[in-house]
Structure 1
């Protein structure tokens, strides 16, 4: 080991401080790789099955070894499995066990319970590390073991909970007593461990899990891309409720934001991977088209050893665009939008590189961000809960989400787009329409990790109906069966159900009499038929999925956090306590199903009155939710919105261009001297339909004006005043819709 310091974006440096201990451990049982091994929570992802063929005349019985994937349904590996070549570099994350876990659970409860000494006193990352993070000595023992086993580029996360390293199959065998295998799947190299991950007894109780040892399964986006769109809006006139798509900026009106402030004072995070250049360009296109202020964006690259590929992943741009544009549109604008982006692994052979270790590292970056913590973090990703549990990913993720709750942060996670069939990624029939063969069963349900964590808000999906721009009803989202890219048919519906591994948190157990975590908690619009109009590569598309529902909630909750001075903690316990007695806050979804009907049998869960497995409590009325959720904070006066910009001063006879988002107003003034015989104000050109209000001496509005012009459907508004009194005239241009390129002219003679 050299004496120079190595650093990465993901972790703290490993340098001279580790050298003495490394040398000491070189003669210890750990460094000698003793045969006394102890298990971790990372199990074999490939399970071996031996079958023996009957003996034939003159021949001995032959034993064949086959493999299944350790996930729900135990799917068979269809190709030859061989040892993984040592030339294959693995990027791993070793999850370390938190300290004082009983004390941490009590703190998480008390910090969100009014009347306790800890209420509202959220921890800083440094405070969390000092009390609950692994000690430096524990970290050093793990670092030394990895280095002695042949791992390189070893780094430590700022909170001491994850150790990152690069190694090969030989290093894995030495460090973890585990063997690595590989096979080809549709032309892509897949690898995974076929034995449980172990550590020397000296590290027992320190190492909790090891992730990054497989790329057979990893988190995938939760969106449903629809067709390109040519309209800038798709809202019907007042009349019969219909299902149509909406611009993200219309969700505040649909879900009744009213006077709830924008999220101007709340920082929001998004978990992503790859290059974000196109996403940022499309976000700018969206805010420009909607006449919104540009979004303050920060990108945090999260490396994992030498996994530093941040090339563009066009297939996932849809997801990051949906997340960012839906959050900004619903929130009305945030203080800052932070992308925590893992190294890419989706393009061609690069798909071999992405593992859950990188995504977990991105979660961890959001709770240790030295530049400032995001108050709400969106995760529109998920995978089969069983494999996440078996690989140890679920354990590592849970530790991160606990830290978030202790720090007053909220992770919002899409519940899934596969209905009750997460185990098969929603696929249940091949291209010929035949139901997939055993061991798949239509009555075997599964859910998605990390939405099952008791320390996140799981957001399911609805199909939204509107009447004009008003909410008019929702049903459980189920777009039915559609063909996937591989030709197989799959279901697109709101995922909900029961966790196989997570214990029900107290706030859910008491209301639902549950013993295991049940999802989702709430829901918002997700259907591709009623989804969001999202810019992708400059073109507008309709996009749905619970990847829309979660960002809508993030935008809503960010607004509420701004109103409450960011003093609200993780809201789940308050939701389950207060929602049943505050029904007006909710749009209870009572119809729909998240499964399918096959041969006369209905599978999945049905929506029902109150909480259910399709949409949780339902969606929220933003204004009423804001009034309720404000009481969950510290009771301090709400932060006032920043003062509006000073009115633009007009000069006599000089036209000025203006624009504004839906429902906004732009202010102008004109100083009029004495002796004027005719004063006029005009608007013209551009797009949208504006109204014009004028008042002498004070600000004009739709309820306070001396003169007004509101000709329906146009921008050619005109106000004329004969022999006006001298003074300052205030002019307001406003519209219920977006307006751009409108000119304002004030003149007198």
Structure 2
């Protein structure tokens, strides 16, 4: 056994000897307090709570003492397996979150920068300006680094904005640095570990260190998506009357009334992910090809902590669905973005490596998106029980990162959750012959998901969408009921909403709703796998739902608004809560459905109502009307429009080109024909779809203005033959009422 007191004294002595002169004063009190083992608390509390019970003495024997553990989350679930000390050499990768400076001034700035008419309205900070005004100082960072190094941690480094310090260690170094012990047990064949005592730091670092993340893997962020069935046919939304059917992501703009509003061609969007993105990028290319969209400008940013490097970015097939859903939904709803940036966490590997997953890497990925400050809107389709996020200190760390994003004019959109009001239990219920019956927890105790509860993010709930001829026909609260989760457990699949247990209501909710705590969600979009998105996964279309669909849809809609307003809109929450009640035409108010479960004839959870409610917030947004309103939240400069259409493609005699187009669009071509030719022919063939060809000499051709036409039904084999053509430029238009891809276009003369 080692002595934490002795080890700490020795480490402090070495630390003081090695510290730069500039830090000597900062650490001077550290030695004095450490010598008497004076520790200060942080926001990171025990993940495992220990209870000791003593059985009464039986005649002839002494009393028996029994130690048991519960998980420090909503409901305090009992650990069923045997608990023992974690192997002291078990590698751990931690992220130490440092407190921001001038917190009150930061909140005042966040309010002012998003208040029209204020002197600083729209004057968002750069990362350098934020660091200078509000981030921990270099001296504070170096003091934390020195303490970690002297406690035995290695590969210690700090984030560029000074808010996180990363390090590699083990249970022994954690005991030395944070006066905390770790325990482990096996659950479903996997090792779980967590600290069974609060995390502390020497008194000299009190007020500097906010929390320490990475000390437990019992609960961590997980995707919020719901896989449905393979899709055997597409374009169902335009062929049926009022119906609940799945949709290609490219159909959502028409359904939610994008009209003539621009795409998000001038706005960069980020997505928080983990692992390898090769399959996701391949499936995104498949989707854009199948829907005749332009290829997406993609960037992948690996986010490492400690010594975790490229070797840890292995593929996680179980999560490919999530990243595919995020990327394809964003691209389809937005109509195309300037750039799509994947922030991929190194240690975020699920599947067989799930035991290595902690929140440290995910928080680091949030932070990297803020440090880079290139993504105007960032999607997060991840969440976990709010209680354990709060108790582990993850919530505190995430809030600080999102606050910097708001100060910089960035918006994080977060899926509210897929388990209705039962996030803490994973929404799990027991059923018998399809009938839901009482579960081993209080059905009246509700919980919500973090980071959706942060006051510095937009929380997006779920609806169930109906369409009529390809346009919006209605929405209800998403609640698919209790169904098999695919892992042998039955869960309620519904839009998460409710009240935070820890976050105070931001001013915009306190004013609009009279709230005292943060309430979610803010808005909502389609989330049911029955009416959700047709997503390519390993080349096959599947219906996929969940609030992991709803959040990317909001991202796509808001990215359009940002392009329309020249990326000048800041974090929109305060303006949403100010303006939405007075502009009801912007919204699809959802007034029916609930987000709980029905057990023994009683329905639990919250019920939708007129106006804002706990199931879908304000409801979904009409894209055209939202753009017109959101434009007023920007700098007032003339709105950005779509890029001018590319000029017609010049054909070369006898050389075919391949073209494609989305439903109802046209592709333009020209061919310069010299004098003296005896014949001129234009042909199309191959690919998919049903194209028509219009030809006109000297001016653009269209279905209403042409000299020649070939429009046979149900085929791409079209031909226009012209005898003794007059010299000049011939304009060719290829069009189709449906998506067409891989069509060959040939012009030749003799």
Which category of TM-score, normalised to the shorter sequence, fits these structures?
over 0.9
**Counterpart-to-counterpart distance in 1, 2:474 and 2:402:** 33
**Counterpart-to-counterpart distance in 1, 2:218 and 2:702:** 60
Tell me the equivalent position of 2:184: 182
TM-score (norm 1): 0.93
Question: Alignment partner for residue 340 of structure 2, among 314, 337, 340?
Answer: 337
State the shift of 1:373 in Å: 1.4
1:464-483 matched pairs, under 5 angstroms: 464-483=465-484
Q: Does the 8 Å CA contact 1:30/1:145 hold for their aligned counterparts?
A: no
Q: Does the 8 Å CA contact 2:33/2:202 hold for their aligned counterparts?
A: no
Tell me the equivalent position of 1:737: 738
Tell me the equivalent position of 1:69: 71
1:436-455 matched pairs, under 5 angstroms: 438=440, 440-455=441-456
What is the SS of the residue equivalent to 1:52?
Answer: strand
Deviations 1:408-462 (A, max 9, x none): 1110100001011101111122688775654x11111111000011111111111
Tell me the equivalent position of 2:95: 93
What is the SS of the residue equivalent to 2:37?
Answer: coil
**Counterpart-to-counterpart distance in 1, 2:522 and 2:182:** 38
State the shift of 1:641 in Å: 2.9
State the shift of 1:62 in Å: 1.5
Tell me the equivalent position of 2:248: 247
Q: Report whether the alignment pairs 1:160 with 2:162.
A: yes
Tell me the equivalent position of 2:404: 403
What is the SS of the residue equivalent to 2:267?
Answer: strand
Question: Alignment partner for residue 194 of structure 1, among 193, 196, 202?
Answer: 196
Q: Does the 8 Å CA contact 1:466/1:473 hold for their aligned counterparts?
A: yes
1:313-352 matched pairs, under 5 angstroms: 313-347=316-350, 350-352=353-355
**Counterpart-to-counterpart distance in 2, 1:683 and 1:356:** 54
What is the SS of the residue equivalent to 2:236?
Answer: coil
TM-score (norm 2): 0.93
**Counterpart-to-counterpart distance in 2, 1:31 and 1:294:** 60
State the shift of 1:350 in Å: 2.3
Seen in structure 2, the aligned counterparts of structure 1 residues 347 and 28 have a Cα distance that, compared at 3 Å, is: closer
Deviations 1:368-390 (A, max 9, x none): 02xx5111100000000010001
1:528-547 matched pairs, under 5 angstroms: 528-547=529-548
Seen in structure 2, the aligned counterparts of structure 1 residues 203 and 30 have a Cα distance that, compared at 3 Å, is: farther
State the shift of 1:337 in Å: 0.9
Tell me the equivalent position of 1:13: none
State the shift of 1:652 in Å: 5.2
Q: Does the 8 Å CA contact 2:418/2:493 hold for their aligned counterparts?
A: yes
What is the SS of the residue equivalent to 1:491?
Answer: strand
Seen in structure 2, the aligned counterparts of structure 1 residues 389 and 30 have a Cα distance that, compared at 3 Å, is: farther
Deviates more, 1:334-343 or 1:672-681: 672-681
Seen in structure 2, the aligned counterparts of structure 1 residues 713 and 434 have a Cα distance that, compared at 3 Å, is: closer
Q: Does the 8 Å CA contact 1:151/1:171 hold for their aligned counterparts?
A: yes
**Counterpart-to-counterpart distance in 1, 2:595 and 2:557:** 25
State the shift of 1:598 in Å: 0.8
Deviations 1:62-99 (A, max 9, x none): 12111100000100000111111111111111111101
Question: Alignment partner for residue 220 of structure 1, among 207, 219, 222?
Answer: 222
Q: Does the 8 Å CA contact 2:30/2:204 hold for their aligned counterparts?
A: no
Q: Does the 8 Å CA contact 2:359/2:394 hold for their aligned counterparts?
A: yes
Deviations 1:657-703 (A, max 9, x none): 32123343211113345677876655444311234344443333456
Tell me the equivalent position of 2:122: 120
**Counterpart-to-counterpart distance in 2, 1:208 and 1:516:** 22
Tell me the equivalent position of 1:699: 700
**Counterpart-to-counterpart distance in 1, 2:35 and 2:279:** 48
**Counterpart-to-counterpart distance in 1, 2:382 and 2:432:** 26
What is the SS of the residue equivalent to 1:214?
Answer: coil
State the shift of 1:747 in Å: 5.5
What is the SS of the residue equivalent to 1:235?
Answer: helix
Tell me the equivalent position of 1:12: none
Corresponding pairs, count: 730
State the shift of 1:163 in Å: 0.7
**Counterpart-to-counterpart distance in 1, 2:217 and 2:581:** 42
Q: Report whether the alignment pairs 1:462 with 2:435.
A: no
Tell me the equivalent position of 2:145: 143
1:512-551 matched pairs, under 5 angstroms: 512-551=513-552
Tell me the equivalent position of 2:369: 366
Q: Does the 8 Å CA contact 1:33/1:175 hold for their aligned counterparts?
A: no
Q: Does the 8 Å CA contact 1:683/1:717 hold for their aligned counterparts?
A: yes
Q: Does the 8 Å CA contact 2:429/2:482 hold for their aligned counterparts?
A: no
Q: Does the 8 Å CA contact 2:314/2:349 hold for their aligned counterparts?
A: no
Q: Does the 8 Å CA contact 1:21/1:141 hold for their aligned counterparts?
A: no
Seen in structure 2, the aligned counterparts of structure 1 residues 437 and 63 have a Cα distance that, compared at 3 Å, is: farther
State the shift of 1:235 in Å: 2.9
What is the SS of the residue equivalent to 1:86?
Answer: coil
Tell me the equivalent position of 1:579: 580
Deviations 1:208-239 (A, max 9, x none): 1111110100000001111222334433525x
Q: Report whether the alignment pairs 1:609 with 2:610.
A: yes
Deviates more, 1:560-569 or 1:683-692: 683-692
State the shift of 1:510 in Å: 1.1
Seen in structure 2, the aligned counterparts of structure 1 residues 696 and 552 have a Cα distance that, compared at 3 Å, is: same
Q: Does the 8 Å CA contact 2:436/2:482 hold for their aligned counterparts?
A: no
Unaligned 5+ runs, structure 2: 1-16
Q: Does the 8 Å CA contact 2:316/2:351 hold for their aligned counterparts?
A: no
Deviations 1:110-154 (A, max 9, x none): 111111111111111111000000011111111111112121111
Unaligned 5+ runs, structure 1: 1-15
